[in-house]
A and B are shown apart, each in its own frame.
Chain A
Amino acid sequence: MALLRISSPHTQRAGHRTSWVMQMVILATLPGIAVQTWLFGWGTLINVMIASIAALLCEAAILSIRRRSVAFFLKDYSALLTAVLLGVALPPTVPWWVTVTAVSFAIIFAKQLYGGLGNNPFNPAMVGYAIVLVSFPVPMSQWLGVQSIVASGESLSFLQSLQAIFHHLPNIDGYTMATPLDGFKNKDLVDSATAFQTIEALQSASINSWLWVNMAYLVGGVGLLWLRIITWHTPVAVLGALLIMAGVFHLFDMSNTATPLFHLTTGAAMFGAFFIATDPVSSCTSNRGKLIYGAGIGILIYIIRTWGGYPDGVAFAVLLMNFSAPLIDYYTQPRTYGHKKAKKGLKIGEDN
Chain B
Amino acid sequence: MQTPQIFSFHGGIHPEENKAQSLQLPLGRPRLPSELILPLGQHIGQSSRPLVKVGDHVLKGETIAINNGFLSSCLHAPTSGTITAIEERAIAHPSGLNDLCLILEPDGKEEWTTLNPLTEWQSNDKTDVLAYLAKMGIVGMGGAGFPTQVKLQGAHKNALKYFIVNAAECEPYITADDMLIREKTQELISGIEILQHLVNADQVVIGIEDNKPTAIASLNALLSEQNSPIQVAVVPTKYPSGGEKQLIQLLTGEEVPSGQYPADIGVLCQNVGTCVAVHDAIHYGKPLISRFTTLTGDALKAPQNVDVLLGTPVAHLLEYAESQHNNLHRLVMGGPMMGYTLDSAAVPIVKTSNCILAATKKELPPPAPEQACIRCGMCEQACPANLLPQQLLWFSKSQEHEKAEHYNLFDCIECGACSYVCPSSIPLVQYYRHTKSAIREAREANIKADLAKQRFEARKARQDAEAAEREAKRLARQKATPAKSTTSKAAPSPSKAAPTPAAPISDEAKKLKVDVVIGKTKLKKAQKLLLEAQENEHLEDIKTLQLQVTEQETQLALLEEQLSKLTPVAAPVQTTPSAQSKPAVNDELKKAKIDVALIGVKLKKLNKQLEETPDDQELKGKITNFEIDLKAAQATVDKLGSASTASTAPKAAISDDLKKLKIDTAIAKAAVKKVEKALQKAEEIQAPEVDAIRQQLKEAQQRADELEKALANPQSTDAKTVSTPAQNSPDADAEKKRKIDLAIAKAGIKKAEKNITLLKEQGKNDAEITASEWPKKLTEAQEKLAALEKESTPAITPKVEAAVPANADADKKRKIDLAIAKAGIKKAEKNIALLKEQGKNEAEITESEWPKKLAEAQEKLSALEATDGNTTQKATQELPESKTDSATNDLANKIKKQKIAAAKAQINKLTKRLDNEPEVADSIQQEIAATRQKQEDAEALLAQLTHSKETTQENH
Contact = CB atoms under 8 A, between A and B. Distances in A.
Interface of A: 1, 3-13, 16-18, 20-21, 72, 76, 78, 116-119, 228-229, 231, 280-281, 283, 285-286, 329, 333-340, 343, 346-349
A12 B420 contact: yes
B423 A16 contact: yes
A295 B94 CA distance: 47
A8 B338 contact: yes
B343 interface: yes
B420 to A, nearest CB: 5
- Most chain B CB within 10 A, of A1, A9, A117, A334, is at A9
A78 B374 contact: yes
Contacts of B407: 333, 343
Given A6-B427, A281-B374, A337-B255, 15 more contacts: A3-B331, A6-B330, A8-B429, A9-B337, A10-B364, A17-B368, A17-B423, A17-B425, A228-B381, A285-B377, A337-B10, A337-B258, A337-B384, A338-B257, A339-B258
Contacts of A118: 372-375, 424
Interface string B401-421: 011011110010010100111
A202 to B, nearest CB: 39
Contact of B364 (A11, A280, A329, A336): A11
Given A1-B326, A12-B368, A7 B387 contact: no
A271 to B, nearest CB: 20
B328 interface: yes
A228 B11 CA distance: 13
Given A11-B172, A16-B421, A118-B373, A346 B406 contact: yes
Contact of B258 (A21, A76, A338): A338
Given A10-B364, A329-B391, A4 B255 contact: no
Contacts, number: 179
Contacts of A78: 374
A339 B925 CA distance: 31
A11 B374 contact: no
- Most chain B CB within 10 A, of A11, A76, A335, A338, is at A11
A3 B330 contact: yes
Nearest to B409: A336
A349 B420 CA distance: 31
Given A13-B420, A337-B386, A339-B411, A76 B371 contact: yes
Nearest to B433: A7
A7 B337 contact: no
A3 B356 CA distance: 14
B96 interface: yes
B342 interface: yes
Contacts of B328: 1, 3
Contacts of B416: 8-9
Nearest to B372: A118
A21 B10 contact: no
B399 interface: no
Contacts of B258: 336-339
B366 interface: yes
B810 interface: no
A229 B376 contact: yes
B325 interface: yes
B15 interface: yes
Contact of A20 (B245, B367, B423): B423
B922 interface: yes
Contacts of A12: 367-368, 419-420, 422, 425
Contacts of A4: 329-330, 341, 366
Contacts of B368: 12, 17
Contacts of B340: 7-8
Contacts of B386: 334-337
16 contacts: A1-B328, A3-B330, A7-B429, A9-B420, A10-B336, A10-B337, A17-B368, A18-B374, A78-B374, A117-B374, A118-B424, A231-B377, A280-B377, A334-B386, A334-B388, A346-B406
Interface residues of B, number: 81
- Most chain B CB within 10 A, of A4, A229, A343, is at A4
A60 to B, nearest CB: 17
B924 to A, nearest CB: 12
B256 interface: yes
Given A338-B255, A338-B257, A11 B384 contact: no
- Most chain B CB within 10 A, of A1, A18, A338, is at A338
A283 B377 CA distance: 10
A12 to B, nearest CB: 6
Nearest to B327: A1
A66 to B, nearest CB: 13
B408 A280 contact: no
Contacts of A346: 403, 406
Given A3-B344, A5-B341, A8-B416, A338 B256 contact: yes
A192 B289 CA distance: 86
B456 to A, nearest CB: 25
A334 B387 CA distance: 7
B60 to A, nearest CB: 33
A5 B424 contact: no
B375 A5 contact: no
A203 B406 CA distance: 56
Given A9-B338, A11-B420, A339-B258, A280 B388 contact: no
- Most chain A CB within 10 A, of B325, B341, B342, is at B341
Contacts of A119: 372
A1 B337 contact: no
B337 A336 contact: no
Interface in B213-264: 245, 249, 255-260
A5 B924 CA distance: 12
B455 to A, nearest CB: 25
A343 B388 contact: no
A2 to B, nearest CB: 9
Interface in B9-58: 9-10, 13, 15-16
B356 to A, nearest CB: 12
Contact of A285 (B364, B375, B430): B375
B839 interface: no
B269 to A, nearest CB: 15
Contacts of B419: 9, 12
Nearest to B368: A17
B926 interface: yes
A18 B371 contact: yes
A11 B381 contact: no
B315 to A, nearest CB: 12
A62 to B, nearest CB: 14
B344 A337 contact: no
A337 B364 contact: no
Given A333-B407, A337-B411, A5 B384 contact: no
Nearest to B357: A10
B339 interface: yes
Given A11-B15, A11-B420, A337-B386, A5 B922 contact: yes
A118 B364 CA distance: 28
Contacts of B650: none
A76 B257 CA distance: 40
Contacts of B700: none
B241 to A, nearest CB: 14
Nearest to A115: B372
Contacts of B260: 338
A153 B343 CA distance: 75
B721 interface: no
A125 B475 CA distance: 85
B339 A3 contact: no
Given A285-B388, A339-B411, A5 B374 contact: no
Contacts of A9: 336-338, 416, 419-420, 429
B385 interface: yes
Contacts of A1: 325-326, 328-329
B359 interface: yes
B402 A348 contact: yes
Contacts of B331: 3
Nearest to A12: B420
